[in-house]
Amino acid sequence: MDLYGLVGFNILVGIGTIALITVGLGVIYGMMKIINLAHGEFMMLGAYATYVANTHGINIWIAMLIIAPIFVGLVGLVVERCLIRFLYGRMIDTMLATWGLSLGLIGLMTSIFGNDPRGVPTPVGSFSIGHYAASLYGFVIVVVAILALAGFYAMLSLTRYGLIVRATMQNPNMAAALGVAPPTIYMATFALGAALAGLAGGVLAPISGVSPVMGAAFIAKAFITVLGGGAAIVTGTSLASGLFGFIDTFVSFKSTPVIGEVALLLAAVVMIRILPQGITGRFLRRSL
């Protein structure tokens, strides 16, 4: 019984982790159709922002929940202005540009901080499920993932900015005729996606450690989940991370983490074969 409790908890954390690493990528890919290959490096920057802020005596919660997303959001803003805005509508070119950006960021961070992994302390302890101890930090990840998705959903569906974003992504020319400046909306959306990546990096830093190449560990899962989720960012990300997080964690528990990731990939391949447009390409089409 205790074991089931532990597995259940781990599955929840696995789902939360995937949702968290995916939402920022989902915003940028889903809304702007830009494949941001520097997504993992945006997370890495969030992790370093958390690490640096923390070593300068700033409260760890503030460092990961506020400083990391704001810092990476600003980086995203600069990247959009200097790089991405020249490449809208040119998918292959944006892939190449963001891939180059990711290599550049890895190199930059390596020359500043060196190759050795840094640690960020885990701010909460553990609790017990029967005989087993589980980290309370798992709850933090799940809660942050839920808040990020719910917050993004609320922004899209309830605010005027959300309405403008949805309209602009659907038909930028018509939105312009109604007084919207699409370049400003693109800029804000890209920065928002980057900020969410920074948040993910900051929150996962205590678990994954902080190093220049940490992004590589996340990027594949994040892409698979975005594609599996389909067009509706919030619903798609939630459902796909639910599915893939469950498979990954459950199979890892039954065998090894490597087999778990293989199972995740196989599930993704099968799913994309059956639902080429992702889950929300067929079901719940009108959702956000």
Task: Give the whole-angstrom CA distance, residue 178 versus residue 121.
Answer: 50
Tell whether residue 181 is a contact of another protein (CB under 8 A).
yes
How many residues bind to another protein according to rule CB under 8 A? 18
131 binds another protein (CB under 8 A): no
Stretch that binds another protein, among 17-25, 68-76, 142-150, 176-184 (CB under 8 A): 176-184
Q: Which of 121, 177, 273, 274 binds another protein (CB under 8 A)?
A: 177
- Least distance between another protein and beta carbon 81 (Å): 17
Provide the minimum distance between the beta carbon of 71 and another protein in the complex, in angstroms, as a whole number.
Answer: 30
Selected binder of another protein within 176, 188, 217, 275 (CB under 8 A): 176
Quick one: which of 55, 110, 126, 171 contacts another protein (CB under 8 A)? Answer: 171
**Binding test (CB under 8 A) with another protein, winner from 59, 126, 170, 255:** 170
Residues near another protein (CB under 8 A): 160, 163-164, 166-167, 170-171, 173-182, 286
